[in-house]
Amino acid sequence: MIEKSKEEILEQIKKRGVKKSYLCDLIGGYRGKLTEWEKGKTTLTKQELEIITDYLFDENNLQAEAIALYSKYSRLSPEQRRLVDGMFEQFEKKK
What is the helix (H) or strand (E) element at residue 87, kind and residue range?
Answer: helix 78-94
Residue 37, classed as helix, strand or coil, is helix
Q: What is the pLDDT of residues 17-35, one digit of tens each?
A: 888 988 998 888 888 999 9
Q: What is the pLDDT of residues 43-88, one digit of tens each?
A: 999 999 988 998 888 766 666 667 767 777 888 899 999 999 999 8
pLDDT at position 62: 66
d(CA 36, CA 6): 12
pLDDT at position 70: 76
d(CA 10, CA 94): 41
Q: Is residue 39 in some structural domain?
A: yes
Q: Is residue 57 in some structural domain?
A: yes
Give the total number of structural domains in the chain.
1
> Quick one: pLDDT band at residue 13, thresholds 50, 70, 90?
very high
d(CA 20, CA 66): 18
Q: Is residue 1 in some structural domain?
A: no
Say if residues 70 and 81 touch (Cβ distance below 8 Å): no
Q: Is residue 55 in some structural domain?
A: yes
Full residue range of the structural domain in which residue 62 is found: 6-94
